Every structure is written in C-alpha cells, then in structure tokens.
Structure 1
Amino acid sequence: MTEETDLLPEEGEALYERQVIKTDKGQEPLRIDKFLMGRIEGATRNKIQQGIEAGLVTVNGQQVKSNFKVKGNMEIIIFTTNAPDESDITPEPLPLHIVYEDDSLMIIDKQPGMVVHPGSGNYSGTLLNGIAYYLRQQNPHLDESVLPRYGLVHRIDKNTSGLLVLAKTAKAASHLAKQFFNHDIQRNYIALVWGDVEQDEGTIVAHVGRNQRFRKLFEAYPDGEHGKEAITHYKVLERLNYVTLVQCKLETGRTHQIRVHMKHIGHTLFGDNTYGGDKILKGTVFTKYKQFVDNCLEICPRQALHAKTLGFRHPEDEREMFFELELPDDMKTLIDKWRRYVQNKTI
C-alpha cells in the first residue's frame, strides 16, 4: 500500500489536505469505514462515516457508501480538513460583508486587515468568529460538526481583500474542495506592482515554497528543486509610470503565490511590507516624490491586492456561479493618485 498527500490550492496556508491511498494487490475485502479507521489517526468510525456520506472519500474516482468493500489495486482519496476545530471558535458579532448566501454556501467580501481564521496571535476578531455568530443566530441548534470544519475550503491573506467562498454543508465543502484540486475554480486578482511591466501579458512558472532560512517568507524556485508547482497568468491593465496595474489569474494557488511570483519577475506588489514593497523601488530621488509615495502608502498601508472575481459550479445543481467585486476604496484612491501623478508629472 502506498500513500501520498497534496494540499488544497489556495492563496494562504492549506485548510484541506488530500490523502491518496493505493491498496496492495492482495488486500482482503474490508468495509471502507473499517479500513480507514486504521489509516486516519484519531478518526472515529462515526466521523469516517459522516465524511463518506458527505462525499469526502472516493474510490477509483467514485463516491461510495460506508459498506463498500475495499479490495486490491484501488485508489482511495480522502479529503481531510486542517481548519480549526469548532471548539477553537468563539462566536463574536462582527461586521460581515455577505455578497451571496443560500443553503449550501456563502460568498464573503473579505475586508483588508481581517484575518480569516483563528491562529497564533489571532484568536478573536477573525472572519470565522463572525461567521460562527452569524450562523448560530440563524440556527441556535446548528450542528457544530458543520461549523467551521466544513466551512473553510480556501482563504485569502489578512491584508488581501476580496471574494471568499465558505461551505455551509459537508457536501458543499467536498464538492468545492474537488473543484479547487482540479483547478476548476476561476480566480482573478487585481494588483498594483512596482515598475513598468515589460510584456503586456505573460505566464510565470516557478515553484513556490518556504524560504529555507526565513520560514515565514515564501520564495520562487524556477528550477523546481523546492516547493510546489505554481503558475500565474498576468495581463497589464494600465501603466502608471513607476507602477503598473495588472490582472493575475491563478492556475494553481500556493501560499503568497501572486506576491512571490510578481517579485520573482522584478515587480513586487506595492505596499507589501513582507516582501519589500513598502519602500520606493522605482522612481526619482526627489524629496517631493518620496512624500508622494509616503502618502500613497498611508492611503493603502497593505499589499495592493484584491480578489476581484470568483467562479465555480454550485455544489447542488452544478450551475455556473460567478461573482465580481469592485476595488475597495483604499486601492481605488491609491490608483487614482498615481493616475494624477502621471498626468501632472511635476514631481
């Protein structure tokens, strides 16, 4: 028997993991729920059965029932969540910007500066704290196994704004997770980057992985000797002298992928204090220009990155869903300021 794992493609740290188990040729017939109890550490038979019912387990690409008999030469795929347990979430009344909601999912306009889920140093005030409060106001008897274990299938970084999908049922989580793995999710981001991007459009292919010295940073590895495969397609939308407005389309999704890939080609995101974009990287030496840039950084004190569009198939009826958000005020004001600078060219 062989096993391998892969992480759910998304911008931040993976919240779902895909575990692949290939059974040996001589595997004796055994119910899949019993089989998986011996393969998933700490899992109860009841939880495994719930996961199988939700479609989080497939055999040779097909969903099965708990009484399915595992035999030799089969490929079993299990989707397991790395999201915080429901016990880690304290419901809090927080402002939520809900773009769309039905019985299966929610689409959220995540505001810049909001952390998506509790973690080190951020145990309250996160999006999931607010979601927990919101859903329990709707249904005080909400099954805690649904929230947030089945809710969060991807995330966007604290200082990135834009669209985020959350599942409200186990079935929806399974369906959406598979679309992420199969690269069927449509995601376009808008970014303001330093420098005049040479090509009108292009594709960046370079593995993305943790910096081997500074573990909180990620880096591009074009030779693929480290990290995971990452592909970003970009298109220039507007040239603004020392900065460029670009659209980035994710084919894969890795931690900090856009931020790392754009820096890799010499165009760090404007305002990105993690990767050096919060200081002057292009421009003049004049004092007035420095003041202008400082004012821009005050207007948008974060990486200028916005998850503008999100498209996927609905988990219940497979209909195509597509959402689009305007730029938030801080990025709008920032871009307008650069446009006026280009027009005036007095500093």
Structure 2
Amino acid sequence: MSEDLAQIPEETPEEQLYERRSFVVDKGQEPFRIDKWIQMHLEGATRNKVQRGIESGFLTVNGKVVKSNYKIKPGDEILMMSLINPEHTELKPENIPLNIVYEDDAVMVLNKPPNMVVHPGVGNFTGTLLNGVAYHLLQQNPDLDEETLPRFGLVHRIDKNTTGLIVLAKTGDAAAHLAKQFFNHTVQRRYVALVWGDVAEDEGTIVAHIARHRQYRKMFDAYPEGETGKHAITHYKVLERFNYVTLVECVLETGRTHQIRVHMKHIGHTLFNDWEYGGDKILKGTIYTKYKQFVDNCFELCPRCALHARTLGFIHPVTKKEMFFESPLPQDMESVINKWRNYITK
C-alpha cells in the first residue's frame, strides 16, 4: 500500500452486496485527479469503472459528491462503495415471472417466493431472481448492462428459502443511494419467523457476533464474546404463542448472513423446519405418535425455513420521500400457523 494512503477498516454487512472503504489523503499529497488516484490505489480498478462509480455517487469526498476531475487535497476523507466479490460469470437474462410490488424509473420492490436464489453463484447460474430482473429491465432499456448498472441494481439479498420483500435499484444513482441507507442502518426491515420452543420473554435483543461455523463452513455461528466474526444485533418480539412453537417478529439492526436464523438458534429457539440449523427435527413437544405425525404434516405444509421478510421501508433515492411496503404471510407459513393455532385449542 502506498505511503500516501491511510485506509480505515469498515464493517461489511455480508447480507449486502457493497462494501465501504474509507481513505484519508496523506499530508504530503500533491493535487491529483481523484479518478486517477482511486484507479492507482484500488487493485483491478479501471478508469472507466471508477468514473462511472463517481458519476453515480458511489464516491464522496468529505461527505460530498464530486466529479471525476476533482483534485484531491491533503486531509481529504474519501468514502467509496464497491461490489463485494463481484461475480464474474455472465448474467443471463431469463423470462422469469416476477412479483413486482412497486416500480418506477429509479427502484423496484419485489416479493420473492420460496426456493428461489436471489443472484447467480456456484451451482445456481440460472433461474435466479436476478436473471428475471435482468430480462425485465432489458425490455425497458436494451442498452443496459453491468457497466452502467452493476449486478442490475441488487444492493441486498435474502436467503433462498426466505420469502418476502427485496428492493433493487434501476440506476447507478439509485443503487448508491440505497447502498448508503443499508450501511447507515436506516432501512426498516421486519421479519416474521416461526421458531421452536416457548420464548420466555415477550421481547428482547440478541447481541452476538456472527461468523462462519468453525466446523461446518456452509453454516454460521454466534460468538457472544465478540472474539471472532462481525457485530450483529437482532431485536425480537413475540406475536403469538403455541406452547411448543412461537411466532416472533424480528427487526435487524445489522445485516449479516443468516442473522435471524443464527441468533434465534443461539438463544435456544431454532427456526421451524430450518434443516441447515437442525430445525427440521422435533425440538419441543411430546413423545406421542400423534404429535410426531402432526409435526411431520406441518413440515410438509411448509417445506422450508419458516421466515418471511414482511416489511420494508426506505427513503426514495429521487423523491426523498419515505416508502413503506408490507407483504402478507405466504400461504405455506399461514397454513402452518393456523394448524398450530388449531392444535393448541383442541
């Protein structure tokens, strides 16, 4: 790293697709165009990509958006956002039906169904939400590509088996604006989850770092002592109790991969039918055969982790008005909840 560069480490919420990098220009730095300076200090950065990022507002100096010809000065604080481990695979547009809740020239809000991966990756190159988004946007603007709109506007993601609301940007400016809101924790997100056990407190807060599981690398684990992983906070509130399972609402203060699933398991309440974390087994209840059959029927009704992104609120990148959306529980979760509701009243 060059001597004229001091980089300040930033937290990178893994659920989000952009990372934030902060730099302070050294006292001995001569005036220099910022696009050239950034290109010199970021590995793999091209002049064209840097300029596009600056034009779209992905870079600020001392809190203000600048042009590519801005001359940096000693002490300037530079904040830049860039894609985290961007996929180098070609994004193939596919005519996949999308449940569009809202759309205008800047943003689109989708209601994601279960069993759909959000974006292409190893083992899932087609059939993802983003394949459908790319097709949809290209019908509106055939000249659109990943140079002008990286990853076709995706700024956050939810798990394959989680249903509910997700927002995407349709312009570079909108993507930069939304990414900043996620970093500043101003995006409102409320999830509904069915968890095993009778949650003791009516509401509470879980504070525990999250990192990859030491033994099972595809899973994540909670590290309450903070000795490893990234800071994570989840607020929860009980919505309804069914003796052996509980319906809860979770509000994310941070956005980590599998955060709700890991945090609820950490306090002894694994999500219902979450096979990756052991929720596809009977964790609470009786030993009777009829109860086992009842639970198996519930698993069949909702053959996935019972988690739904119910609400989403953000500031519109163009109008600056507060936008708020709510998605009703999907049929599979609604059916299971009703089944438990009937079971405890018998």
* TM-score normalized with structure 2 length: 0.95
What residue in structure 1 maps to residue 278 of structure 2? Answer: 276
Query: Hey, what's the Cα distance between the residues in 1 that align with 2:150 and 2:161?
Result: 22
Match of 2:47 among 42, 45, 48: 45
Query: Hey, what's the Cα distance between the residues in 2 that align with 1:194 and 1:301?
Result: 15
Query: Hey, what's the Cα distance between the residues in 2 that align with 1:4 and 1:184?
Result: 22
Whether the 8 Å CA contact 2:53–2:59 is kept in 1: the answer is yes
Find the residue that maps to 2:251 and give its secondary structure: strand
Whether the 8 Å CA contact 1:58–1:78 is kept in 2: the answer is yes
What residue in structure 2 maps to residue 194 of structure 1? Answer: 196
Whether the 8 Å CA contact 1:308–1:324 is kept in 2: the answer is yes
What residue in structure 1 maps to residue 266 of structure 2? Answer: 264
In the TM superposition, residue 9 of structure 1 has moved relative to its aligned partner by: 3.2
Match of 2:106 among 104, 107, 130: 104
1:114 alignment partner AA: M
Find the residue that maps to 1:21 and give its secondary structure: strand
| CA distance 1:27–1:34, shift in 2 (3 Å) | same
Match of 2:121 among 119, 122, 138: 119
In the TM superposition, residue 86 of structure 1 has moved relative to its aligned partner by: 7.9
2:19 alignment partner AA: E
Equivalences for residues 191-270 of structure 1 within 5 A: 191-270=193-272
Query: Hey, what's the Cα distance between the residues in 2 that align with 1:160 and 1:282?
Result: 23
Query: Hey, what's the Cα distance between the residues in 2 that align with 1:86 and 1:172?
Result: 23
Whether the 8 Å CA contact 2:145–2:152 is kept in 1: the answer is no
Residues paired across the two proteins, number: 342
In the TM superposition, residue 148 of structure 1 has moved relative to its aligned partner by: 4.5
2:139 alignment partner AA: Q
Alpha-carbon deviations, 1:71-117, whole Å to 9, x = none?
Answer: 22222111111375586211111111000000001100000100000
Whether the 8 Å CA contact 2:56–2:172 is kept in 1: the answer is yes
Query: Hey, what's the Cα distance between the residues in 1 that align with 2:152 and 2:29?
Result: 31
What residue in structure 2 maps to residue 324 of structure 1? Answer: 326
Whether the 8 Å CA contact 1:83–1:152 is kept in 2: the answer is no
Whether the 8 Å CA contact 2:134–2:152 is kept in 1: the answer is no
Find the residue that maps to 2:313 and give its secondary structure: strand
Match of 1:313 among 308, 312, 315: 315
Match of 1:334 among 323, 333, 336: 336
Alpha-carbon deviations, 1:233-268, whole Å to 9, x = none?
Answer: 000000011000000001111010000000000000
What residue in structure 2 maps to residue 9 of structure 1? Answer: 13
Match of 1:146 among 148, 167, 175: 148
Whether the 8 Å CA contact 2:315–2:321 is kept in 1: the answer is yes
Root mean square deviation of aligned Cα: 1.4
Equivalences for residues 58-137 of structure 1 within 5 A: 58-82=60-84, 84=86, 88-137=90-139
Find the residue that maps to 2:153 and give its secondary structure: coil
In the TM superposition, residue 159 of structure 1 has moved relative to its aligned partner by: 0.4
Query: Hey, what's the Cα distance between the residues in 1 that align with 2:131 and 2:340?
Result: 37
Alignment identity in percent? 66
Query: Hey, what's the Cα distance between the residues in 2 that align with 1:106 and 1:135?
Result: 10
Query: Hey, what's the Cα distance between the residues in 2 that align with 1:95 and 1:226?
Result: 41
Moved more, 43-52 or 287-296: 43-52
Alpha-carbon deviations, 1:260-308, whole Å to 9, x = none?
Answer: 0000000000010010000000000011111111110011111100000
